[in-house]
Amino acid sequence: MRIFADENMPLVQQFFRQFGEVSLFDGRNVSAAQLQDADILLVRSVSNVNAQLLQHNTKLRFVGTATIGMDHIDQSYLAARNIAFSSAPGCNAQSVVEYVLSSLWCLADKYQWQLADKTVGIVGVGNIGSRLAKALQALNIKLLLCDPLRARNEADFNHTDFTQLCTEADIISFHTPLINSGSDATKHLLNAQTLAQLKPDCALINASRGAVIDNNALLQDLSRAATRRAVVLDVWEQEPNILTALLPYVDIATAHIAGHSIEGKARGTEMLYQRCAALLQQPLQQQLQQLLPVPAMEKLQISANFGLPDVQNLARLLYDVRRDDAILRHYLQSKGFDWLRKSYPPRREFSSLQLCGKVIPDFLPQLGFSLAQ
Ligand SMILES: NC(=O)c1ccc[n+]([C@@H]2O[C@H](COP(=O)([O-])OP(=O)(O)OC[C@H]3O[C@@H](n4cnc5c(N)ncnc54)[C@H](O)[C@@H]3O)[C@@H](O)[C@H]2O)c1
Ligand SMILES: O=C(O)[C@H](O)[C@H](O)COP(=O)(O)O
């Protein structure tokens, strides 16, 4: 069995060698000729899997993307060819939540906000949005939730229409898939018209897909003297060739790495491994927990005096998004967007640090921290 995998898929050899020979490729530049012998194809978000890429391959049995987003996969084409497909739902959801929390704390420091006075609008309340909602509730932050699909299917879902959310939120965080057309389309959900409805100081966070915000319209908006909004962008239109004119207006700019914690990426590989093992009717020989590196900090003692104001310091032990903003601003021009992603420095999730103590406040597990056994 021949397995072809993106070179940026951690632990892929360790997981997949059980099924056959693993060959690696550069995901952004992979060609149809390279993949003609693949039985199993494992990609990330930078490879468009479609008729053109698979034109020379007649034996493919499985395509997996170690990502949550699936907008780069032509699923109808795979179904028509009877090729099994899987994404990795939720694999890096906690990583994105930690990115958003770190961004909020940085903005709160920079602009001296009291986060408890802010209303955060979450647009897209799936794996990431609902975890984020739980974390923000733990921090006593007021929420508005917008998810028309959930509103249609769940009678008790407390939905706020996007237009209303735009006028009422102090901060909006986007967590929808990229949907190009139809009544729930998210492409350019935030555009010149919807931007004009926001409060002049409404902050924006986008860690979903770049095209959910019309980047040119955002640039126009941010260039206006009347606009005073803080902006965090992890995702951009036309990656890797991003609109660099936005950078001076953006408080935190990163290279589509919100989901790139060590756990988030490796969980994606493991989920595809489990799916492949089921498809090939093979036993599971590997487990992520055994393959993850030992974290630099394993245990921390919490005293009875630990309170909500201490959470920010605790979280910063593990991740501070300003590191990634600084790296982008320093290296984007000389090394490029894809290099920033490929050489992303290690980041562990909150759960890697086990908290010990007689009484651990409830908000810590709600934020994703784990308790020592
Ligand atoms: N920046 C990163 O590194 C990174 C990492 C992971 C995921 N993502 C992106 O984040 C997206 C969301 O991830 P998830 O795991 O929460 O996905 P999910 O599928 O679990 O949830 C998406 C939610 O968005 C809702 N939705 C769809 N259309 C909507 C609309 N028009 N308005 C409001 N809500 C809408 C869906 O009903 C669903 O509940 C992914 O599709 C991916 O594109 C980015
Ligand atoms: O959709 C996702 O899961 C994320 O956007 C993912 O982190 C993208 O990262 P990539 O696959 O490009 O490394």
The whole-model pTM stands at 0.98
Look at ligand 2, atom 1, and give the residue with the nearest C-alpha. Answer: 69
**Residue 67 CA, closest ligand 1 atom number:** 6
Within the chain, residue ranges assigned H as helices are: 12-16, 75-80, 93-111, 127-138, 148-153, 162-168, 192-197, 215-223, 262-279, 288-291, 311-318, 322-335, 337-342, 363-367
Contact 92 CB / ligand 2 (< 6 Å): yes
pLDDT for residue 373: 79
Nearest to 269 by CA among 96, 86, 127, 97: 86
- Binding-site members for NAD(+) are 147, 176, 207-209, 234, 259
pLDDT for residue 146: 98
State which of 67, 72, 175 you would mutate to test the pocket of ligand 2, scoring each by most atoms of that ligand within 8 A of its C-beta: 67
* 72 vs 64: CA distance, rounded Å: 12
pLDDT for residue 169: 98
Distance 72 CA to ligand 1 centre (A): 14
Contact 67 CB / ligand 2 (< 6 Å): yes
| Ligand that comes closest to the CA of residue 46 | 2
Taking the chain (373 residues) in consecutive chunks of 10 residues, what is each chunk's mean pLDDT? Answer: 98 98 98 98 98 98 98 98 98 98 98 98 98 98 98 98 98 98 98 97 98 98 92 98 98 98 98 98 98 96 96 97 98 98 98 96 96 89
Within 118-261, residue ranges assigned H as helices are: 127-138, 148-153, 162-168, 192-197, 215-223
Distance 228 CA to ligand 2 centre (A): 30
Cβ < 6 A, ligand 1 pocket: 68-69, 90, 92-93, 96, 123-129, 146-150, 175-179, 184, 186, 207-209, 234-235, 256, 258-259
Structure tokens, 137: 């509730």
